[in-house]
Amino acid sequence: MTAHYPPLAPEHIDLSDTEFWGWPMADREAAFAMLRSLDHPPFYAEPEFIFETGPGYYALVRHADVVEASRNPDVFSSGRGATSIADLPVEFNEYFGSMINMDDPRHARLRRIVSRAFTPRMVQRFAADVAGIAAVIVDDLLATGPCDFVEHVAARLPLTVICQLMGIPDDSYAMVLRNTNVILSGMDPDLISEDMDEAVSQILGAAAELCWSWPVTRPPGTRCPTRWSC
């Protein structure tokens, strides 16, 4: 069954509406082409989130606008939650944030540190390990037969690689996947409660379990990789 939408006009497009992201790809591409043709970035109301709804946001849909914003962190800050439309509380963003939620100079300093571990030469050192993990997954897939591709392949491969790089034992993989899914759920009702208070408790609980599990795998004397004590 093919969905039919009215002829596209700016008022028909709401990037905050989850139904928009269910439109056929061709319709979404046409919508973004229309938005790029406007004289100014479109403005939308913020979707409901676990924190107080803000005044709204401008959607930058032109490449040049995105590049310009990326070069001006004083105006377009990532430090208050670059992966979230809503501005996150400082404590929440610090606890759950990553390098993508930082501005320079802090972002540049950490990026320089991390980049040393991902040079072509360093990546080549563990390329064989990644190939071995992939081979095991494919062998298991052949033995299992038809199955959920996301669970058995798409999620399993990066999860295994990341856990091995961090020294996390095999029996903790399910816990890591479960809790990271909750934290990164994006309010998906399949992963997290639709009740905002319960959702906050689930997210904080997932983070706490990951943090408390860290001492099992981290070298003695090192600290939990968050600003909060564990």
Q: What is the pLDDT of residues 42-85, one digit of tens each?
A: 999 988 776 677 888 999 999 999 999 888 888 888 877 766 77
153 close to 137: Cβ distance less than 8 angstroms: yes
Least confident of 6-10, 35-39, 65-69, 180-184: 6-10
| C-alpha to C-alpha distance for 202 and 157, rounded to whole angstroms | 25
CB 59 within 8 A of CB 16: no
Regarding predicted confidence, which is higher, 115 or 92?
Answer: 115
Q: Which two tokens stand for residue 80?
A: 């208050």
List the beta bridge partners of residue 147: none
**Model-wide pTM > 0.85:** no
Q: Give residue-wise pLDDT tens across range 2-19.
A: 444 455 788 889 998 888
